[in-house]
Amino acid sequence: MSDRVSQLIDSIKFKALELHQELQSERIKSNHLEEELMKIKSEINAKSAEIELSQKKITELGDQIKTLSEQKVDLSSVNDISDEQIDELVKEIEFCIAQLNQ
């Protein structure tokens, strides 16, 4: 019986060593996966910051477009007034020329 017990103990030791090696291997894999996860999280944070910056730029450009559109409308009304003033000046000059010719 002592041989049988010795064999069982050796078998248990062998299985325990195998399990220990597998555990060590899985711990190493787990550490690598955790490192990879941290790297990916860092990349996600960087991309999120980049997206936020891009969204701010888009908003700023939209505001600039709106402002430029409003300025264009304002400038066109200024040009209308200038055209009217030019027409009035032309009429006055024509009137003055007509008066001088008489």
- pLDDT, tens digit (0-9, with 9 covering 90-100), for 53-76: 999 999 888 888 888 877 765 555
**Higher per-residue pLDDT: 30 or 88:** 30
Going by pLDDT thresholds of 50, 70 and 90, the confidence category of residue 100 is: confident
Q: End-to-end CA distance of the chain, in Å?
A: 148
Q: Measured between alpha carbons, how far is 94 from 102 in angstroms, rounded to an integer? A: 13
Residue type, 53: L
Instruction: Say whether 59 sits in a helix, a strand or coil.
Output: helix
Residues 4, 43: Cα–Cα separation, whole Å: 58
* Secondary structure of residue 1 in the 3-state scheme: coil
What would the pLDDT profile of 79-97 be if each residue is shown by its tens digit? 555 677 777 888 888 888 8
Angle at 24 between CA 21 and CA 30, to 5 degrees: 140
**pLDDT value at residue 75:** 56
pLDDT in tens, 7-20: 999 999 999 999 99
Name the band, by pLDDT with cuts 50, 70 and 90, for residue 1: low
